[in-house]
């Protein structure tokens, strides 16, 4: 006899999801990851020339005691680009997708293992990992193949993509409350953060956003901005209700990242591109509508 | 439920709930910031009056120009910050190396023809006051200085 709560969880987690939605998520998220790998090639391969003394391995790279030889870094990067292309196409998906997920995790972790963690890549890696373990190439794949199994039990993947997204934002929100307390919502911490970010960039001879320093004398602005930022993070679970809740939260989170870009010139490309939020929406219906429109 | 369906469901539960739980886990385990599981501390920490390090080119008349990350040996501003901080923490030998590398790059770079030496500088600021009241540091110290070496070959970027 299953308790009602567990039955409800089971229904929610395994709610039917058309295989086309999973495939579109594969195309969008995998495509984004692949382009991202190519666009950041120079930066991702830069550790080949970093001094070994700056090596500070983290995550999966903690398996290493010393930096990889440059040739190994280039080889893993090359494999990630190749497997990424196959991931997007959906070719040999069951064997290639986990390879791509692992390579992406390795390449990005390795780049972050030089004393500075950039928090812009976390969601991308988690999303690709989830898709890699799911039958996301049962539609829109090349070469085309017969759809395997029944797609009705794959809803957990989409749920997990949404849950992981919400969890990451909640952790970021709770971190602010843990480290600064509810004072964070008062505005002074955000004002200080924006000033600090611009100042360190000036000290390091880099470019900073002119908007952030321009706003600093207007102290009153920062309390509402802080409340909005905290709400965008802590209220993320509301998006799990779907529909307008999801759309409203995604818009709020996107605006939050836009604000970070405008005031601190810090780019979170994955959420800003919108791809990070696609799992909350019925992509297959959008796609069908768009296809109908273009075909007349 | 068939054995295949049971396995699928088990996998769904393990990954569908396990992965989000892993993302949330730093809240409960007190784990350090890592990748891809993070504590997301970036905008959360109070900044107070931070001490910042920079590498500057000094001209004969005493004026100074901040060196951009590319002349410190990296493309990224955060990586430049780490490189300078590591060198300062490692002591005079590491600072001498950083200074010499930067000096060689500056000697080969356009726009620094008036530069006479390179210095690693430490300054403490109130970041908000810097922009609202004026850019005067609360404290300032020149940690290391080295002469420019005209004609030197610029070292490879790090």
Indicate if the pLDDT at residue B152 is higher than 70.
no
Residue B154 pLDDT greater than 90, yes or no = no
Q: Give contacts of A 38-67 with B, CB under 8 A.
A: 42-43, 46, 49-51, 53-54, 58-59
| Three-class DSSP category at B127 | helix
Sign of CA dihedral B32, B34, B37, B39: positive
Contacts of residue B87, Cβ cutoff 8 Å, sequence gap at least 6: B94, B95, B97, B98, B120
**pLDDT tens digit string along B121-134?**
999 999 999 999 99
Sign of the Cα pseudo-torsion (A47, B89, B106, B72, in order) = positive
Average pLDDT value for residue range B133-140: 93
**For range A193-218, the mean pLDDT:** 92
First to last CA, chain B: 57
> What is the overall mean pLDDT for chain A?
92
Q: Is the pLDDT of residue A290 over 80?
A: yes
Q: Does A17 reach chain B within 8 Å, measured CB to CB? A: no
Q: What is the reported pLDDT for A116?
A: 79
- Residue with token string 């905290």: A230
Q: What is the mean pLDDT of residues A168-182?
A: 92
pLDDT at A10 exceeding the cut of 90: no
Interface probe, candidates B43, B100, B138, chain A, greatest A C-beta count within 10 A: B43
Q: For residue B147, give the 3-state DSSP assignment.
A: strand
Helices (H), B35-126: 69-72, 77-90, 92-108
**Residue of B27, B79, B158 with shortest CB distance to A116:** B79
Contacts of B71 in chain A (CB under 8 A): 205
A141 near A23, Cβ under 8 Å? yes
Evaluate if residue A25 carries a pLDDT over 70: yes
Integer CA distances (angstroms), A173 to A47, A179, A223, in order: 31, 10, 15
The answer to whether residue B114 scores a pLDDT higher than 60 is yes
Residue A203 has pLDDT above 80, yes or no: yes
Measured from the Cβ of residue A87, the count of other Cβ atoms closer than 10 Å reads: 32
Three-state helix/strand/coil letters over B32-56: CCCCCCCCCCCCCCCCCCCEEEEEE
What mean pLDDT do residues B46-74 have?
Answer: 88
Of B41, B72, B131, the CB nearest to A179: B41
Domain extents for chain A?
12-150, 171-296
- Distance between CA atoms of A250 and B4, rounded to whole angstroms? 36
Q: How confident is the model at residue B6 (pLDDT cuts 50, 70, 90)?
A: confident
CA distance A211 to B115: 31
Q: Is A261 on the interface with B (CB under 8 A)?
A: no
Are A117 and B38 contacting, i.e. CB atoms less than 8 angstroms apart? yes
pTM of the model: 0.89
B145's CB contacts (< 8 A; 6+ apart) are B58, B99, B117, B118, B119, B120
**Per-residue confidence (pLDDT) for residue A146, from 0 to 100:** 67
| Cβ A171 vs Cβ B40: under 8 Å | yes
| A146 or A282, which is more confident | A282
Average pLDDT over residues B30-44: 88
What pLDDT, on the 0 to 100 scale, is given for residue B46? 79
> Is the pLDDT confidence value at A275 over 70?
yes
Say which of B34, B47, B84 has its CB closest to residue A58: B34
On the question of pLDDT at A5 being above 70, the answer is yes
Tell me the CA end-to-end span of chain A in Å, nearest whole number: 53
Confidence of residue A1 (pLDDT cuts 50, 70, 90): low
pLDDT of residue B41: 86
The three-class DSSP label of residue B31 is coil
pLDDT recorded at residue B150: 57
Identify the CA nearest to A59 among candidates B29, B24, B34: B34
Closest CB from A130, A160, A175 relative to B44: A175
Least trusted range by pLDDT, from A3-7, A59-63, A246-250, B54-58: A3-7
Using DSSP, state whether B102 is helix, strand or coil: helix
Asked whether the CA dihedral A211, A214, A216, A219 is positive or negative, the reply is negative
Average pLDDT, chain B: 87
Q: What is the pLDDT of residue B76?
A: 77
Contacts of A191 in chain B (CB under 8 A): 128
Q: If you average pLDDT over residues A209-227, what whole number do you get?
A: 95
């Amino acid at each position: 006899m299953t308790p009602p709560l567990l039955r409800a969880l089971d229904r929610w987690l395994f709610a039917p999801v058309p295989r086309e939605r999973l495939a579109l998520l594969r195309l969008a998220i995998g495509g984004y990851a692949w382009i991202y790998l190519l666009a950041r090639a120079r930066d991702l391969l830069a550790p080949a020339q970093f001094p070994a003394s700056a090596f500070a391995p983290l995550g999966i790279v903690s398996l290493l005691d010393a930096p990889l030889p440059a040739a190994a870094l280039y080889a893993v990067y090359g494999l990630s680009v190749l497997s990424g292309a196959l991931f997007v196409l959906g070719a040999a998906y069951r064997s290639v997708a986990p390879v791509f997920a692992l390579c992406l995790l390795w390449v990005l972790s390795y780049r972050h293992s030089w004393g500075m963690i950039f928090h812009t890549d976390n969601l991308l890696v988690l999303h690709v990992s989830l898709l890699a373990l799911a039958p996301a190439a049962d539609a829109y794949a090349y070469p085309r193949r017969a759809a395997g199994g029944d797609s009705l039990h794959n809803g957990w993947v989409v749920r997990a993509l949404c849950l992981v997204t919400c969890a990451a934002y909640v952790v970021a929100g709770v971190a602010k409350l843990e480290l600064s307390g509810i004072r964070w919502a008062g505005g002074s911490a955000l004002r200080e953060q924006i000033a600090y970010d611009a100042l360190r960039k000036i000290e390091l001879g880099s470019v900073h956003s002119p908007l952030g320093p321009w706003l600093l004398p207007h102290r009153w602005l920062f309390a509402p901005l802080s409340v909005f930022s905290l709400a965008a993070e802590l209220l993320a679970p509301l998006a799990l209700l779907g529909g307008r809740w999801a759309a409203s939260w995604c818009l709020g989170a996107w605006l939050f990242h836009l604000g970070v870009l405008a005031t601190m010139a810090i780019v979170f490309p994955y959420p800003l591109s919108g791809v990070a939020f696609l799992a909350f929406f019925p992509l297959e219906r959008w796609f069908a509508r768009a296809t109908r429109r273009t075909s007349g | 439920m068939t054995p295949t369906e049971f396995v699928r469901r088990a996998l769904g539960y393990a990954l569908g709930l396990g992965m989000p739980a892993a993302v949330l886990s730093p809240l409960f385990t007190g784990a350090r910031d890592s990748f891809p599981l993070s504590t997301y501390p970036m905008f959360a920490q109070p900044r107070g009056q931070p001490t910042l390090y920079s590498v500057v080119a000094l001209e004969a008349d005493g004026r100074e120009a901040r060196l951009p990350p590319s002349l410190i040996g990296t493309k990224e501003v955060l990586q430049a910050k780490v490189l300078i901080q590591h060198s300062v923490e490692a002591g005079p030998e590491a600072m001498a190396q950083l200074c010499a590398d930067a000096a060689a790059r500056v000697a080969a770079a356009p726009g620094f023809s008036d530069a006479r030496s390179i210095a690693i500088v430490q300054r403490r600021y109130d970041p908000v006051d810097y922009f609202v009241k004026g850019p005067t540091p609360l404290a300032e110290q020149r940690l290391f200085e080295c002469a420019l070496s005209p004609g030197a070959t610029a070292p490879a970027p790090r």
